[in-house]
Structure 1
Amino acid sequence: MLIITIKQGKEKSLLAGDILIYASAIDKVDGKPQEKMKPGSNAIVQNSAHQFIARAAYNSKSQIRARVWTFKEDEPIDHAMMKRRVKAAVQKRLANVKKAAPTQIVALIRGDEDGLSGLLVDSYGGVDGYLICQFQSGGVDAWKVPIVQALLAETGCPNVYERCDELMRKGEGLPLFSGALAGEEPPESVNVSDGGKRFSMDLRTGFKYR
């Protein structure tokens, strides 16, 4: 477990609920060298007086050095947390997925809003269609397996695909990857309707055909 010490006075935004910690706010990071180099390592965040502030995911390769998971000292960062947060996010929006037209794309998980900073998940084709995921931070990337397991369990959708945002993942020091995480890949082109507009899209890349 890493220990991130925040510079004196720089903790104000965290105490106000901000979950992003930039390099300029950090005084020092203590812990094993291999943990410091691993994107998404668990860390305790403390102020200059060594008082607990939060638990976070640390990434030395990103300008956003850490993303807060929780401000509760007694809430562990584990598989159960990821599954709880995925479940809560899905329950908020699953009704939208079920009532959507087969050609609509529906937001299912929206990163910070759902306590899963850097994770974007969209649904296409309803519960029998595809879930398109983007893991855009070291924290959620480190917990990819339980997140995908929870998505499968909570949505009933058999097909989960990871789309690669090359710029975002490079900025986080993450390997570039795209492909099926469960079930089948989406076809090269599908019909999408959005706000009265219709177009063809490659769900794997987000590319819209003209």
Structure 2
Amino acid sequence: MIRPVLRLKPGRQFPFLSRHPWVHAHALADEGRNLNCGDVVDLIDHDGNWVARGVINPQSRLRVRLYGYDQSTEIGPDLWRDRLDRAIARRRISGPMNPEGAERLVFSESDLISGLIVDRYADCLGVQFTAGGLLKWKDEILEHLKTTLGARGIVVRVDEKTAKHEGIDPLEASHGSDDLTGTVEYVQNGLRLTVDLSGGQKTGGYLDQRINQEIAAGYMRGRRVLDMCCYQGGFGLPAAAKGAASVLGVDTSASALAAAAQTAQQNSIENVTFEQGDCFDWLKDAVENGQQFDAVILDPPRFAGSRHQVDSAMRAYRRINASAIDLLPPGGILVTCSCSGRVSRSDFLNMLMDVGRRRRRDLVMLENRGPAPDHPVAISCPESDYLKCVIAEVQ
């Protein structure tokens, strides 16, 4: 079969020889603007040697996503079905499926399907396409997921930010069910939760922190806890349910706080309250007013969406962590997180060391955690190692 061929600029082949899946437009000698979104292309180095096979989107700066590093790999429905099956089987390595629970079944680059996220909430699926080129096979992918998993229904989304970057239209649609306009119930960390597959973040919620949330709750027993950037109470509600003296959750989103309060009521959790506020301003005021907590949880949104934002992100992390330490007495517990893939784990730990130095406080790290096992890391794509969760005692 004759395919379009894209040539790399001199010396740009090495990441792809190491099986990194992202080819940005600036790495290409021919940017392929005359091709159609979803076309299968072969990538060659500047000397004409075959490197990899992928799918192009001429409207995206991430011009080609690579899916094959052997010339025998054919990109199409059979490949997607095979990789979906392998991704689902990979989740069962760590244990059996909880039919009432939630899990990530497909994690984009980490499952060798760059541009596809699939989350399961009980018997329903939330699917997010982040690669415009994959939409060419959307129906085949969704049908295989529904048939293989016996899903009651699927909500498919392409959010506005992704659509802008990929040069495609936003998308939100149901597949196989007309009754997924409301919420779906599932169980996580002993709590009965609901998720809005259409109106929530990403595929409806966040699943990567759920084991960290359970582990952190064990450190909160008997403590007065501040859960900053609490969103819908992922950290704070398990802590309150498992013995915290009190939990105060703070977030900028009124709708997220309302959802958290509703979850607390549904699970008969009474030792939690919520306030709306900006994390920087709220923490600054709390320090100035002399407030104290026995534990502070920091789970802010992504501060660095690109490499150009890393410096400002590090300043933001220093600021909120310094304020958190100021709110803790000796022996207090700090749970601090970063979901910025551009911020490395070593950079995050160095930031904490710097904060401790500036505040003249010792931080003793008790746990240095990542995401749940259903969010695996592709060694060839370091960006997939994005989540950091440090639990430390502050002296």
Fold shared by both chains (TM-score > 0.5): yes
- Structure 2 unaligned spans of 5+: 202-255, 261-395
Give the Cα separation in 2 of the matches to 1:200 and 1:160: 16
Distance 1:185 1:26, change over 3 A: farther
Within 5 Å, give how 1:181-200 maps onto structure 2. Answer: 181-195=175-189, 199-200=193-194
2:319 corresponds to: none
| Matched letter for residue 9 of structure 1 | G
2:16 corresponds to: 14
1:166 corresponds to: 160
Q: Residues 32 and 58 of structure 2 are in contact (CA less than 8 Å); yes or no, is this contact kept in structure 1? A: no
2:90 matched to 1:92?
yes
| Matched letter for residue 24 of structure 1 | H
What is the CA-CA distance between 1:192 and the residue it aligns to?
A: 4.8
2:117 corresponds to: 120
Distance 1:148 1:190, change over 3 A: closer
Give the Cα separation in 1 of the matches to 2:53 and 2:115: 16
| Matched letter for residue 108 of structure 2 | G
What is the CA-CA distance between 1:174 and the residue it aligns to?
A: 1.7
Q: Provide, for residues 68-91 of structure 1, a one-character-per-residue CA deviation record: whole Å limited to 9, x for no partner.
A: 010111111121111111111112
What is the CA-CA distance between 1:196 and the residue it aligns to?
A: 5.3
Matched residue of 1:28: which SS?
A: coil
2:38 corresponds to: 40
Q: Which one scores higher on RCO, CA 8 angstroms, separation ≥ 6?
A: 1
2:119 matched to 1:145?
no
What is the CA-CA distance between 1:116 and the residue it aligns to?
A: 0.7
1:81 corresponds to: 79
2:68 matched to 1:70?
yes
Give the Cα separation in 1 of the matches to 2:67 and 2:151: 26
2:52 corresponds to: 54
Give the Cα separation in 2 of the matches to 1:154 and 1:191: 21
Give the Cα separation in 2 of the matches to 1:50 and 1:123: 43
Give the Cα separation in 2 of the matches to 1:192 and 1:170: 32
| Matched letter for residue 127 of structure 2 | C
1:180 corresponds to: 174
Distance 1:111 1:62, change over 3 A: same
What is the CA-CA distance between 1:193 and the residue it aligns to?
A: 4.4
Give the Cα separation in 1 of the matches to 2:46 and 2:74: 23
**What is the aligned residue count?**
202
Distance 1:63 1:197, change over 3 A: farther
TM-score, normalization by structure 1: 0.86
2:390 corresponds to: none
What is the CA-CA distance between 1:179 and the residue it aligns to?
A: 1.1
| Matched letter for residue 121 of structure 1 | V
Distance 1:101 1:146, change over 3 A: closer
Distance 1:22 1:185, change over 3 A: farther
1:109 corresponds to: 106
What is the CA-CA distance between 1:198 and the residue it aligns to?
A: 5.6
Q: Residues 15 and 53 of structure 1 are in contact (CA less than 8 Å); yes or no, is this contact kept in structure 2? A: yes
2:113 matched to 1:131?
no
Q: State the Cα RMSD in Å.
A: 2.3
Give the Cα separation in 2 of the matches to 1:96 and 1:182: 29
Give the Cα separation in 2 of the matches to 1:97 and 1:142: 33
What is the CA-CA distance between 1:50 and the residue it aligns to?
A: 1.3
Give the Cα separation in 2 of the matches to 1:112 and 1:183: 28
What is the CA-CA distance between 1:63 and the residue it aligns to?
A: 1.3
